């Protein structure tokens, strides 16, 4: 999901949308919770992603299905 959001805001940045620069930097450092919030605000279909636990079982990642 992080890479999809990075692509999304990267494309917007090259389309001269100055706010995309701020959003892109937010995506790069966002926690998983905030990453979900950004995706929902930008109308990403969350059903296209699944979560996978990391080795330490405290964090999770989003993987496109």
Neighbours of 24 (CB within 10 A): 17
pLDDT of residue 17: 58
The pLDDT of 28-39, averaged and rounded, is: 89
Whether 26 and 9 have beta carbons less than 8 Å apart is answered as no
pLDDT of residue 65: 60
pLDDT of residue 42: 87
Whether 5 and 62 have beta carbons less than 8 Å apart is answered as no
| Confidence band, pLDDT 50/70/90 cuts, at residue 50 | confident
Question: d(Cα 11, Cα 55) in Å, to the nearest integer?
Answer: 32
Q: What is the pTM of this model?
A: 0.66
Q: Which of residues 2 and 16 earns the better pLDDT score?
A: 2
């Amino acid at each position: 999901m992080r890479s999809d959001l990075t692509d999304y805001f990267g494309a917007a940045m090259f389309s001269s949308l100055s706010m995309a620069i701020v959003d892109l930097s937010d995506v790069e450092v966002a926690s998983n919770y905030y990453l979900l919030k950004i995706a929902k605000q930008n109308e990403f279909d969350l059903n296209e992603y699944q979560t996978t636990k990391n080795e330490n079982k405290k964090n999770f990642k989003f993987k496109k299905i």
